[in-house]
Amino acid sequence: MALAPNMPKSWRAETKPHKFCPGCGHGLVLKALGECIDELGIQDRVVFGCDIGCSLLSWDFFNTDSIQTHHGRTTPVLTGVKRARPDRICIAYMGDGGGYAIGSQHLVNAASRNEKITTILVNNCNYGMTGGQMAPTSLPGMKTETTPYGRDVELTGNPTQGPEMVAAITPEGAYVARGTIANLRQLRKMIKKALETQINGTGFSFVEALSACPTNWRTNAKDTLHFVEKEMTKYFKVGELKVPGEKEGK
Amino acid sequence: MVDKPIKGEKRYFVTGNEVVAWAALAAGAEIMYGYPITPQNEVMHYWTRLAPKYNRKFLQTEDEISAGFATCGGVLSGARAFTATAGPGNTLMQESMSMAEMMKIPTVVVVQQRGGPSTATVIYSQQEVTMTCFGANGEGLRVVYSTGSHQELYDYTIKAFNTAWKYRIPTFVLGDGYQAKMRESLVMYDPEERGIKMVPTEKIVGKEGMPGVEREPSHLRNTYNTEDELYDVVEKLVRDFWQAAPEIVEHQEFDCQDAEIIVVAHGVVTRAAQAAVKELRAQGKKIGHFRPVTLRPFPREAMKKAIANAKELIVVESAEGQLDKIVKAEIYGCSKPITGYFKPGVGITAEEIVEFINKRG
């Protein structure tokens, strides 16, 4: 008899198996998030908001109240909820395009205002849902559908350093980290700390998760993991950038 | 217990923006999300001065995209929430209002129209009619009240919350810079004391109870996988909208019964039209005036009845035919000649309407 995989209690079993591509990182990030919701016992207080892009597939992922928004607009919708209902735990879930391109003004300003919400941003170096175009996070030289000869940083700039930017503009009390699906135990700790930051009401919380998109990267399992662990981390340093009550830059 | 903002009935002499802030307070609005744009700013100025005294909230967002979406979030969490904007801000807000249309989010937006296209003027126009009624990628499933006086700004701002929450349709109060900035007298009142019951709000997300255990979770979406799936959803939205429409439509008519020429105008221009009708009647001319109060849904049947005996229609508006286009679509099949008197972004006086009609003989 095959062992059933452990699903977080807060996952909605009726909507599983989920609809992400084989090898996609979203399922892992959402599992880490689900486990954190379980551990903190906040399932009945969570309002989960998902962006457009692959993240939209998470609209019925949890047994929590959930709002699918527009591309880039999850941060203001969840800000709107939190401001009206401060007792809710508001989680904005998005990709790198939604957070760093079309919705960057919302991310920057929510961080500046120190909104008491949690943003989880999945960085897979490209726009997955639309077929693998260049994202703000595509690596230098990386081939995508809109950079078929490789990303030329002279023309398109360097990959966006999201957590570094958020850490720079948030006041003390915020939580900022970059995790990776290559280290789920660490990613789970980061998401838990982010949610605790919101629960404690000390500030904005932001976790970027380095993730994988084998469908658009056109990589096999080995190369996919290699890209996440070795290539992405050259530009995106994994670790905590800001922790409430701790000196920065530890 | 915090005092009610308005007790009894009181006469005031104030600007339209102040009226909107007081009306939202009296209606029990809990939170306003806003971004500065002229001529709407003083709605926020008065709201931010008054709100803390009555336990209400305010958030100044980074732009109107954010103000619109944050309003959606506030409303979904069960708050009577609103925003106000104008011109290019209204343009940016259309994205969130298409989400409100799709997900039946009862948002309230007060629009104080300014000149267009582009940045244009901060003063006045009626050039946001098409956008407010039909903006974004949608089907125009909104309610748009076009006000013409401070009293109406007050009455319809209160009413907008009730229409929005009763029918779950995004609702707009369409004012303009003249109404926003000028002072005029009106009577403010507590709606309940007048027998206007505020439609209760409801938590659409963030409900009580463990989701998936004690209740179903609220899973709200706006993305669909197939044409058929979408069609079913939109078809229901459209059906709900037209089912509610007869209860929502409002209009006014002035001397239409025996009128040979009927002036069609909305918003603040109705005042010029009403005065012009009085003047022309005094001159012995058979003139009437039809005024749609709701531009969306449009009082089609009432208009068809009102113009039945007329020989000609003249559409008068501070835009290049935005109301005209709606009128022609709504009374399709009517063979009476329709003439336009269009002054995009410019105010219209009774005298010029009188002159325009008299010159035609």
- DSSP assignments along A201-217, one per residue: T-S-EEEEEE---HHHH
Interface membership of A241 toward B (CB under 8 Å)? no
Closest partner residue to A77 (CB to CB) among B70, B213, B223 is B70
Q: Is residue A17 reached through a cis peptide bond, with omega within 30 degrees of 0 on the bond before it? A: yes
Q: Mean per-residue pLDDT for A199-228?
A: 98
Q: What is the DSSP string of B281-339?
A: HHTT--EEEEEESEEES--HHHHHHHTTT-SEEEEEESSSSHHHHHHHHHTTT--S-EE
Record: contact B217-A12, CB cut-off 8 A = yes
List B32's β-bridge partners, or say none.
B58, B82
Question: Residue A3: CB partners within 8 Å, gap ≥ 6?
Answer: none
Q: Which chain B positions have a beta carbon within 8 Å of A75's beta carbon?
A: 66
Record: contact B223-A59, CB cut-off 8 A = yes
Record: contact A59-B218, CB cut-off 8 A = no
CB A127 within 8 A of CB A201: no
Residue of A nearest to B225 (CA): A57
How many angstroms separate the CA atoms of B109 and B92, rounded? Answer: 13
CB A73 within 8 A of CB A51: yes
Closest partner residue to A76 (CB to CB) among B61, B212, B218 is B61
- Smallest CA–CA distance, residue A250 to chain B, in Å, is 31
Cα-atom radius of gyration of chain B, to the nearest Å?
21
Distance between the two ends of chain B, CA-based, in angstroms?
A: 64
Q: Does the pLDDT at position B231 exceed 90?
A: yes
Q: Does the pLDDT at position A248 exceed 70?
A: no
CATH of the domain at A218: 3.40.50.970
How many angstroms separate the CA atoms of B171 and B106, rounded? Answer: 7
Q: Does the pLDDT at position A2 exceed 80?
A: no
- Smallest CA–CA distance, residue B206 to chain A, in Å, is 6
Under 8 Å CB pairs connecting chains A and B tally to 138
Closest partner residue to A66 (CB to CB) among B59, B73, B220 is B220
Record: contact A65-B205, CB cut-off 8 A = yes
pLDDT in tens, B55-64: 999 999 999 9
Residue of A nearest to B31 (CA): A84
Q: Mean per-residue pLDDT for B135-150?
A: 97
Task: Output the pLDDT for position A3.
Answer: 67
- DSSP, collapsed to helix, strand or coil, labels residue B352 as helix
Record: contact A81-B211, CB cut-off 8 A = no
How many angstroms separate the CA atoms of B152 and B17, rounded? Answer: 12
Torsion-angle region of residue B160: left (phi > 0), alpha (psi -120 to 50) or beta?
A: alpha
Distance between the two ends of chain A, CA-based, in angstroms?
A: 47
Segment 33-52 of chain A within 8 Å of chain B by CB: 43-45, 47, 49, 52
Q: Does the pLDDT at position B254 exceed 90?
A: yes
Name the one residue in this structure whose structure tokens are 């009142």: B189
**Could you report the predicted ipTM of this complex, rounded to two decimals?**
0.95
How far is C-alpha B227 from the chain's CA centre? Answer: 32
The total of other beta-carbon atoms located within 10 Å of residue A102's CB is 19
Task: Output the pLDDT for position B3.
Answer: 78
**Structural domain of A108:** 24-242
How many angstroms separate the CA atoms of B19 and B46, rounded? Answer: 9
Residue of A nearest to B83 (CA): A80
How many angstroms separate the CA atoms of A50 and A71, rounded? Answer: 9
Q: Which chain A positions have a beta carbon within 8 Å of B211's beta carbon?
A: 43-44, 63-65
Please report, as a single letter, which amino acid is at residue B324: D
Please report, rounded to a whole number, the percentage of residues in chain A having pLDDT higher than 90: 96
How many angstroms separate the CA atoms of B69 and B99, rounded? Answer: 9
Task: For residue A13, tell me if it sits in a domain.
Answer: no
Confidence of residue A1 (pLDDT cuts 50, 70, 90): low
Residue A170, token pair as written in the block:
């948030």
Q: Does the pLDDT at position B1 exceed 70?
A: no
**Residue A122's closest CA among A89, A162, A157?**
A162
pLDDT in tens, B177-194: 999 999 999 999 999 999
Interface membership of A68 toward B (CB under 8 Å)? yes
Record: contact B70-A64, CB cut-off 8 A = no
Q: What is the DSSP string of B29-77?
A: --EEEE---TTTHHHHHHHHHHGGGGT-EEEE-SSHHHHHHHHHHHHHT
Task: Output the pLDDT for position A217.
Answer: 98
Q: Does the pLDDT at position A186 exceed 60?
A: yes
- Smallest CA–CA distance, residue A84 to chain B, in Å, is 5
Q: Mean per-residue pLDDT for A74-81?
A: 98
Name the one residue in this structure whose structure tokens are 């996952």: A11
Task: For residue A14, tell me if it sits in a domain.
Answer: no
Task: Output the pLDDT for position B245.
Answer: 98
CB B290 within 8 A of CB B306: yes
Record: contact B78-A85, CB cut-off 8 A = yes
- Smallest CA–CA distance, residue B228 to chain A, in Å, is 19
Closest partner residue to A80 (CB to CB) among B65, B72, B209 is B72
Q: Does the pLDDT at position A249 exceed 70?
A: no
Q: Mean per-residue pLDDT for A64-90?
A: 98
Task: For residue A11, tell me if it sits in a domain.
Answer: no
Confidence of residue A247 (pLDDT cuts 50, 70, 90): confident
Interface membership of B99 toward A (CB under 8 Å)? yes
How many angstroms separate the CA atoms of A242 and B153, rounded? Answer: 48
pLDDT in tens, B74-133: 999 999 999 999 999 999 999 999 999 999 999 999 999 999 999 999 999 999 999 999
Record: contact B218-A66, CB cut-off 8 A = yes
Interface membership of B61 toward A (CB under 8 Å)? yes
Task: Output the pLDDT for position B130.
Answer: 98
Q: Which chain B positions have a beta carbon within 8 Å of A65's beta carbon?
A: 205-207, 211, 217-219
Q: Mean per-residue pLDDT for B266-281?
A: 98
H-state helical runs in chain A: 26-40, 74-84, 96-97, 104-112, 153-156, 162-169, 184-200, 214-217, 221-226, 232-235
Q: Which chain B positions have a beta carbon within 8 Å of A80's beta carbon?
A: 33, 59, 69-77, 81
Q: Which of B66, B96, B108 to mutate to test the interface with A (most CBs of A within 10 A)?
A: B66
How many angstroms separate the CA atoms of A243 and A208, rounded? Answer: 14
pLDDT in tens, A29-59: 999 999 999 999 999 999 999 999 999 999 9
Q: Which chain A positions have a beta carbon within 8 Å of B226's beta carbon?
A: none
E strands, chain B, are 9-15, 31-34, 57-60, 81-85, 108-113, 143-146, 171-176, 183-189, 219-220, 251-254, 261-264, 287-292, 294-296, 312-317, 338-342
**Residue B105's closest CA among B170, B177, B58?**
B170
CB A205 within 8 A of CB A244: no
List A114's β-bridge partners, or say none.
none
Q: What is the mean pLDDT of chain B?
A: 97
How many angstroms separate the CA atoms of A241 and B186, rounded? Answer: 56
Task: For residue A133, tell me if it sits in a domain.
Answer: yes
Handedness of CA B102, B103, B105, B109 (dihedral sign): negative
CB A162 within 8 A of CB A101: no
Task: Output the pLDDT for position A4.
Answer: 67
Instruction: Indicate the DSSP class of residue B211.
Output: B
Fold annotation for B9-192: Rossmann fold (3.40.50)
CB A174 within 8 A of CB A114: yes
Residue of A nearest to B216 (CA): A63
List B264's β-bridge partners, or say none.
B290, B315
- Smallest CA–CA distance, residue A99 to chain B, in Å, is 14
Name the one residue in this structure whose structure tokens are 């403010």: B188
**In chain A, how many domains are there?**
1
Residue of A nearest to B95 (CA): A70
Fold annotation for B251-359: Rossmann fold (3.40.50)
Task: For residue A8, tell me if it sits in a domain.
Answer: no
Interface membership of A64 toward B (CB under 8 Å)? yes
How many angstroms separate the CA atoms of B143 and B164, rounded? Answer: 8
How many angstroms separate the CA atoms of A195 and A206, rounded? Answer: 9
For chain A, the 3-state helix, strand and coil shares in percent, each to the nearest 5, are 40, 20, 45
